[in-house]
Amino acid sequence: MYGLNVKRRSLGSGASLCSDLTLQLLSHYHGGKMVIVTDRPVGLLSGVKKQWFKKMRRLQVERSKTLNADRVKRIIEQITFMQNCSFSTKSPNDLLEADVTFATYQDLVLTPPDCSALYITLDLPKEVQHILTAWMPRNSEVVLYEQR
């Protein structure tokens, strides 16, 4: 994982992986394609989308309360991204089709993803992590979630 920005995250007590992933995805929304490695892609996608829509609704309420033009512009950009963002649990064959892809590491080892952010939500051996990050451009972000 040479040349990549590797971050480790641990969830505090009472923190939800879905809500934390939602915030991480939103903080990286100008960066490009994102991949989440999990052992249950469909279940995690469902939870993240629920948090996604909840956050989008909060932003819409905040936008309606805000008078600052610069802040309104930033909120509108973020809401627009959230409305247009595509999610998928389909195994990537060659190129990533969706903005955010949820997949198992077995699917991604066959075709390492070319993405700007990779979120690993389970413990994987270092060798597998290196295979998964093989095609990532320099200075891409890898977030490793530490297991409790």
Please tell me the predicted confidence (pLDDT) of residue 1: 62
Q: Is the pLDDT of residue 16 over 80?
A: yes
Q: What structural domains and CATH numbers belong to the chain? A: 5-146 (3.40.50.300)
Please tell me the predicted confidence (pLDDT) of residue 3: 83
The DSSP secondary structure of 63-110, one letter per residue, reads HHH---HHHHHHHHHHHHHHHH--EE-SPPSSS--SSEEEE-HHHHHH
Q: What value does the mean pLDDT take over residues 39-54?
A: 96
Phi, psi (rounded to 5 degrees) for 56 = -60, -40
